[in-house]
Amino acid sequence: MKKPLLIVESPTKVKTLKKYVGKDYNVAATVGHIKDLPPKELGIDIENEFKAKYVTIKGKSKVIQALKSAAGDTDTVYLAPDPDREGEAIAFHAADVLKKKGRRFYRVLFHELTKKGITDALNNPLEPNQDRYEAQQTRRSLDRLVGYQISPLLWRRVQGGLSAGRVQSVAVRIICDRERAIRIFEPEEYWSIKANLKADLPPNFIATLAKIDGKKAHVPDGESSARIVKELEAATFMVEKLAKRTIKRNPLPPFITSKLQQDAINRLRFSAKKTMLVAQQLYEGIEIGTGGPEGLITYMRTDSIRVADEAAMEAITHVKERFGPEYALDVPRVFKNKNKAQDAHEAIRPTAVLNTPENLKPFLNEDQYKLYELIWNRFVASQMSQALIDQNTISIKAAAYTFTVGGTTVKFKGFMALYAESDEKTDKSDKAKQVLPELTEGMALEREAIIPKQHFTKPPPRFSEASLVKELEESGIGRPSTYASILSIIRDKGYVDLINRYFVPSELGFIVNDLLVTSFPEILDTTFTAGMENDLDDIENGTKRSLSVLNDFYTSFKEKLDHAKENMLSVKGVGIDTGLSCPACQKPLNIKMGRNGHFIACTGYPECSFSSNYVRDEKGLIEIMETKTDNTKVKDCIKCSSPMVKKEGRFGEFLACTGYPDCKHTESVNGEANGKETGAKCPEPGCNGAIVEKRSRRGKIFFGCNNYPDCAFASWDPVVNSPCPECDSLYLIQKETKKEGKLLKCPKKGCKYKESQKE
């Protein structure tokens, strides 16, 4: 009998699956996507109903051949990439390259890589989901139409290497808008007033002014505060009301993707990208001493909080045994999804509650253990009893003023015995509990002191990774599975920096954002972008068609694109108005972009050649940086013989030709042309140049030929002028790893030569 072929996208999954089905199936992996739109062209035929042109991804020809070989002459193929839109696309492309007369293709959805999960999925195969595939194709087409048609505008108007994206550009806008709100924020003064009070028995306690004449207290300034303090010093303090109540607090539901990212960022200091990487490892399978890898969590890309009844009952049984019956529920707790949540997957949960974090700790690395423990605790806690919390609130009257003091006591921990919440639901008074004396209504209190304190309102906070993920989720921007890549892209492109765990837009980020907001207001509108995500969901649900969505989008987009091609401001050319005047000739100064980044320059060029680096103050106002220039001639320029003088730029001192702008030659202060010499010769055939140390436009050190641009050789690793003893490479590179220390390695692909390099 011919074995059917089971196809997944990850080689790691192959090992896990072979543990359970290896004898009955051939198992192969696509190693991610095997087809995509062409990298060097739009790949969307706009005139022919947006037909997409898919090509084999570079390097995947061998993978496709391996799939064909694994399929052999079987007539049954099970397509089991991830159970989401990307997985559906991989499944369709795999079926396309393996199609053969008489061969049947079935879609298999593995929500968990356990014996039960795998068996259930294989026993209930589905047809490939055309609607889900169309949703992925539409999303890919939209991203390509935006990215491949706006990005070239940025290359021409700003600088090469930049990119725009349907979702990433909105994320940058959110960060830029928040930064501008911080810059224009004007703090307002207000005062708090507290009273140190004493009852018949100790201890003393502190009460806070809450109301004035029955209305919420607002003390705007020191004068008002002083007047109130004076009145309070003459007033009698008396206990007006004692209020006691017990509140019930329910646990949070199990994790969805976005909430897992937020909690891992806040609690574990993981990045969103790291969270998804570690979660993928836990899902795909880890060896835990059961004779092969085993999936430890359910699929980690989901926005559903649904939980299978048997999994909930397993948690309840474990809670009874570990904590006692009072901590357990009689029936599983059911959480309701939001209207737009896709219910195809469960929430993220452990595949087996009996696989406790303590039991698995010997088999997991530190990161895997921390994330698994977080997922396990949250899920099990979601099926535990409510916590009971006693709240005491005391109102104290003093003339027209009402003070309050309160406290909370956990009466019964319930789910909090396992998973303490760390979100906005946590009562702030828990952090500063006071021990209160015995008090009764009508009791007179002795005033020990009145404590006024000045405060100022604070600007809105910058976004952390966690709060940006939350903002994107609540605004309906993108999907949780894409957040990690979005956060990485906007940093890699230099649009934002992560400083002390908070996003701060760079000057480049502001420049690109402002140009895009002006030219493409709809693309960067959060409501519009969220609407596009809803359209993709509707395509997947079968209530909308791909062509209709693409037509509606492109009609408006094309109009804006044509206008931008003619009218988008050029930062390379005219530049952006700063509102400042040139200190040399009083003409306007504009922000411009050059090889080394942004700077300000006089609009009177070439008559006036003033230019300077600049910084912005805390309000965003431009401050010209004084460039240190030593006008003493150091040497003659090797290109035009004009005197060279010492200047100071973004990356320290350098020598510049005084013949600028006709001659733009620069050298390091040590006199090496175009960079610091390394002693290594350029390895490019026919080049007589030398390898020098240089800096990129963002300040990163690299190594390149001093004959640039005639020779384009460059390397991020230091080059050593020594041939490889095992191949024809003319040089070696220096590397350093934690495991092997400093090494000399051959840079040629396929050559494995390396040698240890002592200090």
* Active-site amino acid positions: 299
Task: Indicate the DSSP class of residue 703.
Answer: E
Q: What angle do CA 76, 55, 160 make, to 5 degrees?
A: 145
Give DSSP secondary structure letters for 27-80: EEE--S-SEES-TTS--EETTTTTEE--EEPTT-HHHHHHHHHHHTT-SEEEE-
Give DSSP secondary structure letters for 451-519: EEEEEE--PPPPPBHHHHHHHHHHHT-S-HHHHHHHHHHHHHTTSEEEETTEEEE-HHHHHHHHHHHHH
In degrees and rounded to multiples of 5, residue 466 shows phi and psi of: -65, -45
What's the length of the chain? 759
User: Rounded to an integer, what distance in angstroms lies between the CA atom of residue 111 and that of residue 283?
Assistant: 9
Q: Could you tell me the CA-to-CA distances from 196 to 231, 240, 442 in Å, in that order? A: 15, 17, 18
User: Rounded to an integer, what distance in angstroms lies between the CA atom of residue 554 and that of residue 410?
Assistant: 57
Take residue 123 and report the two structure tokens written for it.
């026993």
Task: Indicate the DSSP class of residue 627.
Answer: P
Q: 279, 297 in Cβ contact below 8 A?
A: yes
In degrees and rounded to multiples of 5, residue 469 shows phi and psi of: -60, -45
* Cis peptide leading into residue 683 (ω within 30°): no
Q: Find residue 496's DSSP bridge partners.
A: 505
3-class secondary-structure state, position 411: strand
Take residue 80 and report the two structure tokens written for it.
């089991």
User: Rounded to an integer, what distance in angstroms lies between the CA atom of residue 631 and that of residue 643?
Assistant: 9
Take residue 521 and report the two structure tokens written for it.
């207001």
Residue with the two structure tokens 């092969």: 292
Q: State the amino acid at position 586 in one-letter form.
A: Q
Q: Find residue 382's DSSP bridge partners.
A: none
Q: 387, 412 in Cβ contact below 8 A?
A: yes
Q: 374, 263 in Cβ contact below 8 A?
A: yes
Give DSSP secondary structure letters for 191-256: EEEEEEEE-SSSPPEEEEEEEETTEE--B-SHHHHHHHHHHHHTSPEEEEEEEEEEEEEPPPPPB-
Nearest to 604 by CA among 591, 592, 590, 587: 587
User: Rounded to an integer, what distance in angstroms lies between the CA atom of residue 239 and that of residue 69?
Assistant: 85
In degrees and rounded to multiples of 5, residue 350 shows phi and psi of: -65, 145
Beta-carbon contacts of 384 under 8 Å, excluding residues fewer than 6 positions away, are 251, 319, 323, 327, 328, 329, 414, 415, 417, 418
Q: Is the dihedral of CA 737, 739, 744, 749 positive or negative?
A: negative
Take residue 498 and report the two structure tokens written for it.
């992560």
User: Rounded to an integer, what distance in angstroms lies between the CA atom of residue 372 and that of residue 622?
Assistant: 48
* Class of residue 262 by CB neighbours under 10 A (exposed 0-12, middle 13-18, buried 19+): buried
Q: 524, 495 in Cβ contact below 8 A?
A: no
